[in-house]
């Protein structure tokens, strides 16, 4: 079984890191039912369930759950996400022990999907249709239809029918022959098995006598056939499994004990977190200055227009107020009835909160006759939009819900409306120094490898739209250089040479690039980046984005010319070839790659993206991404890339896929901040479907201040 070997110690280390991260995320957000005795608990597979068997319960919308369980020598770590109120998905990583016939430890990755067909009513049970190991090796492949009903406070009964893993014991019928071989490469949808083979019943009961304890009893239809055949487990001697949950006092997790298979003892920790309700919108810092209402009739006074010092005084007052708020007034046009300000927001994650602070500061610093406020946020020198507000509306609606002001606010294209930059604002220099962690997951010999580095970063903004930026690192400790790929790649090794870069790069230049951003025309944005673009490649990258300010739809195009960097990641380049260490075959890396992209903002915070083009290894294909974003800046998403590279050429995993998280720092510390951390968990890093990791792509920079996103965060306008 290529790619699944040894490393039980690293499995435990990976699990420990996962638990530490999930424990930190679980602080301060309740994800459970309002009645703790009726709350949903998770089973040993990290999904709503009893012990091994699923239930038809669902967690609150947007809940993230993390579980780490042990059953004998088997470990299961699962990340679960309630994608919508009815649909959920989970990624599970399992370590199975070495077998008696000499087989090494087996590491398995699998994805599950569940959909609630019926919600629970007074007489109607909740009904869920589920798919286990829908993309994987098939070890945990199974489907089920299950119903759950709450019959009394804390008392629930469950019954269901299952196929595959859930159809092993005492089948009551069959839907044909089900393929049962383990997929060597994995990662392929197992649709040829769905609802095929024997069908068997399962069921159980759970009872919570109080808010802390829950007792579980289930009749299991899983015979652990694969584990028994491979010597990973003994044949179950009983059909009944038992469980005990202890709920944490804050409702954000549980500790569980299990008795399974008639002889095995298991335990599990569960952490729950809901990014939808995490933190305080806008942070816990001080509120902005209040609106300064004008005296009756003051708006008619235009005497200030004949005083040459008044505009400068008003600008100075506004500059000072915004500096206190952590923003920069870069320019202003002041007319008798209208003021246009150019703003750089370096503090507030919620864009509407920044706009609200600017608007209120304008009421306190500008002459009373100025009725129309036009606020233009600028990102990397690009005017992103013009938000137009009426001063009278601000005065009249300050103590009303922010939703009352939104229909009276205009969001326009800022092209041709933006004031010039004041002298002395640029050039500007900034720098930072701190630790950095680079990691690799699911290496065949070790599930987690990582380097701890010291990173120094600097940015020299020469003009508003032209910046020179770079980052250097010093390795402190780590084992990324120990990564091994024991299977042959049918593609140029554009990403699987990580160990070579890690081995020679103790002191590295992570990136060093000159980037220019622009607004070539209405609805258009541009980027040109030149230099050492990422750790493995340098060259030039050009991008053009079409994105109207009031549109949910955007289109982009990116073209890259690259050269492969030396393994020491300093200033040199090397030949655009790679040699496979297994086959000895030398392959050429193409110098040109790029994509056409489409973006769409759906309702309820969902953002979709489709990229079609040529990838680093020369393969052609498409990447589909879907992310769910919350008003506090959290994002949870998944992606999949399919190219013309065959599953055999791609290798283990068959195609590139993964899940990703964006964690806004402000939501964790309670202080407004635009800093955020991105975490991507790939099922396995391979060469197929790999893209250039160029910084500064336009869509995420531009859309923040466009109408759809501003409207989503408008509730923080008065914060």
The confidence band for 12, taking pLDDT boundaries of 50, 70 and 90, is very low
Whether residues 260 and 302 share a domain: the answer is no
Q: Which of 171-185, 362-376, 593-607 is predicted least confidently?
A: 171-185
Q: In this structure, is residue 423 part of a structural domain?
A: no
Give the pLDDT mean for 253-271: 92
Half-sphere exposure of 655 (CA within 13 A, CB side): 18
pTM of the model: 0.88
Instruction: Decide if pLDDT at 20 tops 50.
Output: no
Q: What pLDDT, on a 0 to 100 scale, did the predictor assign at position 99? A: 54
Pick the most confident of 19-28, 439-448, 627-636. Answer: 627-636
Domain end, chosen from 355, 384, 418, is at: 418
Give per-residue burial for 417-436: e unless 16+ CB within 10 Å, then b. Answer: bbbebeeebbeeeeeeeeeb
Q: Please give the full DSSP string across 364-398, using - where no structure is assigned.
A: HHS-TT--EEEEEEEETTEE--EEEEEHHHHHHHT
> DSSP labels for 483-543?
----S--SS--SSTTHHHHHHH-SEEEEEEEEEEEE--STTEEEEEEEEE-SSSEEEEEEE
Q: Is the pLDDT of residue 6 over 60?
A: no
231 and 380 assigned to the same domain? no
Same domain? For 154 and 110 the reply is yes
Of 458, 512, 511, 449, residue with least CA distance to 483: 449
Across residues 634-657, what is the average pLDDT? 86
Question: DSSP states of 405-430 as a string?
Answer: HGGG-EEE--TTTPPPPPTTS-SEEE
CATH of the domain at 373: 3.30.300
Q: Could you tell me if residue 715 is inside a domain? A: no
Q: Please indicate, yes or no, whether residues 163 and 80 belong to a single structural domain of this protein.
A: yes
Neighbours of 353 (CB within 10 A): 26
Tell me the average pLDDT across 621-636: 92
Q: Where is average pLDDT lowest: 178-192, 369-383, 398-412, 581-595?
A: 178-192
pLDDT tens figures, 140-160: 889 999 999 999 999 999 999
Task: Give the span between the Cα atoms of 241 and 203, in whole angstroms.
Answer: 11
Q: What is the CATH number of the domain that holds 97?
A: 2.40.160.40
pLDDT tens for 295-306 read 999 999 999 999
Q: Is residue 476 part of a domain?
A: yes
Tell which wins on pLDDT, 64 or 480: 64
Q: Are residues 351 and 453 in the same domain?
A: no
Could you tell me if 355 and 502 lie in one domain?
Answer: no
Q: How many domains does the chain have?
A: 3
Is 499 inside a domain boundary? Answer: yes
> Can you give the pLDDT at residue 572?
96
If phi > 0 it is left, if psi is from -120 to 50 it is alpha, else beta; for residue 610 that is: beta
pLDDT at 443 over 80: no
**pLDDT higher than threshold 80 for residue 557:** yes
Looking at the structure, tell me whether residues 397 and 439 fall in a common domain.
no
Burial status of residue 676 (CB atoms within 10 A of its CB: 0-12, 13-18, 19 or more)? middle
Encode pLDDT of 268-295 as tens digits.
Answer: 999 998 988 776 655 666 788 999 999 9
Final residue before a domain boundary, out of 418, 452, 483 = 418
**Does residue 626 surpass a pLDDT of 80?**
yes
Question: For 177-213, how does the pLDDT look when each residue is reduced to its tens digit (9 = 90+)?
Answer: 888 776 666 667 777 888 999 999 999 999 999 999 9
The C-alpha atoms of residue 59 and residue 82 are separated, in whole angstroms, by 7
Mean pLDDT (the chain) is: 88
Is there a domain that residue 260 lies in?
Answer: yes
Read off the pLDDT of residues 233-242 as tens digits, 9 standing for 90 and up: 778 888 999 9
Q: What percent of the chain has pLDDT over 70?
A: 91
Cα–Cα distance for residue pair 616/562, rounded to 1 Å: 9
Q: Is residue 280 part of a domain?
A: no
241 with 313, same domain? no
Per-residue confidence band for 555, with pLDDT thresholds at 50, 70 and 90: very high
Q: Which two tokens stand for residue 109?
A: 């990755």
Average pLDDT over residues 65-76: 90
Place 220 in a pLDDT band, splitting at 50, 70 and 90: very high
Look at residue 109 and tell me whether its pLDDT is greater than 60: yes
Does 471 lie in the same domain as 371?
no
165 & 303 share domain = no
Phi first, then psi: give them for residue 93, nearest 5 degrees. Answer: -120, 120
Q: What is the CA radius of gyration of the chain?
A: 28
Q: Residue 399: which domain range?
A: 298-418
| Residue 553 shares a structural domain with residue 572 | yes
State the CATH number of the domain containing residue 523. Answer: 2.40.160
* pLDDT class of 5 with cuts at 50, 70, 90: very low
**Between 83 and 184, residue with greater pLDDT:** 83
Helix (H) or strand (E) holding 19: helix 8-25
- Rounded Cα–Cα distance for residues 408 and 403 (Å): 10
Q: Residues 469-485: pLDDT tens digits?
A: 999 999 999 888 887 76
pLDDT digits (tens, 9 = 90+) for 113-140: 999 999 999 999 999 999 998 887 778 8
Residue 281 lies in a domain: no
Tell whether 191 is covered by a domain.
yes
Q: Which of 273, 308, 334 is the last residue of a domain?
A: 273
pLDDT of residue 554: 98
Give CA–CA dist 509/530, Å, rounded: 15
Q: Same domain, yes or no, for 670 and 545?
A: yes
């Amino acid at each position: 079984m290529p790619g699944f070997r040894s490393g039980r110690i690293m499995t435990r280390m990976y699990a420990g890191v996962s638990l530490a991260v999930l424990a930190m995320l679980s602080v301060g957000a309740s994800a459970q039912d309002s009645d703790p005795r009726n709350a949903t608990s998770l089973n040993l597979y990290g999904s709503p369930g009893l012990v091994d068997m699923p239930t038809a319960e669902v967690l609150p919308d947007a809940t993230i759950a993390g579980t780490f369980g042990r059953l004998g020598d088997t470990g299961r770590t699962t990340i679960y996400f309630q994608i919508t109120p009815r649909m959920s998905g989970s990624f599970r990583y399992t370590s199975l022990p070495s077998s008696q016939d000499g087989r090494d430890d087996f590491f398995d990755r699998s994805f599950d999907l569940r959909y609630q067909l019926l919600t629970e009513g007074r007489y109607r049970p909740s009904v869920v249709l589920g798919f286990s190991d829908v993309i994987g090796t098939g070890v945990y492949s199974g489907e089920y239809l299950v119903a759950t009903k709450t019959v009394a406070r804390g008392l629930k009964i469950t019954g269901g029918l299952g196929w595959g893993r859930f159809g092993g014991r005492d089948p009551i019928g069959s839907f044909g022959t089900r393929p049962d071989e383990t997929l060597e490469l994995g990662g392929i949808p197992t649709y040829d098995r769905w609802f095929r083979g024997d069908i068997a019943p399962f069921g159980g009961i759970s009872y919570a006598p109080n808010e802390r304890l829950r007792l579980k009893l289930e009749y299991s239809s899983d015979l652990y056939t694969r584990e028994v055949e491979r010597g990973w487990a003994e044949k179950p001697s009983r059909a009944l499994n038992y469980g005990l949950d202890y709920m944490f006092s804050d409702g954000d997790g549980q500790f569980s004990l299990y008795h399974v298979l008639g002889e095995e003892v298991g335990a599990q920790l569960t952490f729950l977190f809901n990014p939808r309700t995490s933190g305080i919108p806008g942070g816990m810092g001080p509120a902005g200055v209040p609106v300064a209402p004008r005296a009756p009739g003051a708006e008619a006074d235009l005497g200030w227009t004949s005083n040459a010092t008044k505009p400068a005084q008003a600008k100075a007052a506004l500059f000072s107020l915004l500096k206190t708020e952590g923003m920069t007034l870069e320019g202003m046009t002041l007319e008798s009835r209208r003021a246009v300000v150019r703003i750089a927001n370096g503090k507030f994650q919620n864009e509407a909160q920044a706009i609200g602070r600017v608007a209120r500061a304008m009421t306190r610093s500008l002459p009373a006759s100025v009725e129309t406020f036009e606020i233009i946020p600028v990102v990397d020198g690009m005017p992103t939009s013009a938000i137009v507000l009426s001063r009278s509306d601000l005065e009249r609606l300050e103590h009303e819900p922010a939703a009352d002001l939104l229909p009276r606010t205009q969001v326009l294209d800022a092209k041709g409306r933006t004031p010039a930059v004041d002298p002395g604002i640029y050039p500007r220099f900034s720098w930072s120094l701190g630790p950095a962690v680079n990691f690799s997951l699911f290496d065949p010999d070790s599930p987690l490898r990582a380097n701890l580095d010291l990173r120094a970063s600097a940015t020299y903004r020469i003009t508003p739209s032209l910046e020179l930026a770079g980052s250097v690192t010093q390795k402190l400790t780590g084992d990324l250089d120990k990564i091994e790929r024991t299977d042959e790649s049918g593609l140029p090794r554009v990403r699987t040479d990580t160990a070579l870069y890690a081995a020679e790069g103790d002191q590295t230049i992570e990136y060093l690039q000159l980037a220019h951003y622009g607004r070539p025309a209405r609805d258009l944005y541009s980027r040109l980046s030149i230099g050492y673009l990422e750790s493995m490649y340098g060259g030039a990258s050009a991008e053009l984005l079409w994105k109207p300010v009031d549109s949910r739809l955007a289109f982009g195009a990116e073209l890259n010319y690259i050269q492969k960097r030396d393994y020491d990641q300093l200033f040199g380049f090397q030949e655009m070839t790679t040699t496979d260490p297994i086959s000895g075959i030398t392959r050429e890396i193409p110098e040109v790659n790029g994509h056409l992209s489409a973006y769409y903002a759906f309702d309820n915070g969902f953002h979709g993206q489709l990229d079609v083009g040529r990838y680093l290894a020369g393969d052609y294909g498409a990447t589909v991404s879907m992310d769910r974003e919350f008003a506090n800046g959290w994002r949870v998403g998944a992606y999949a890339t399919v190219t013309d590279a065959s599953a055999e050429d791609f290798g283990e995993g068959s195609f590139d896929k993964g899940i990703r998280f964006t964690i806004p720092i402000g939501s964790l510390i309670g202080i407004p901040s635009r800093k955020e951390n991105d975490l991507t968990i790939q099922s396995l890093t391979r060469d197929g479907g790999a893209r250039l990791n160029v910084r500064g792509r336009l869509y995420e920079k531009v859309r923040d201040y466009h109408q759809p996103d501003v409207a989503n965060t408008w509730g923080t306008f008065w914060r």
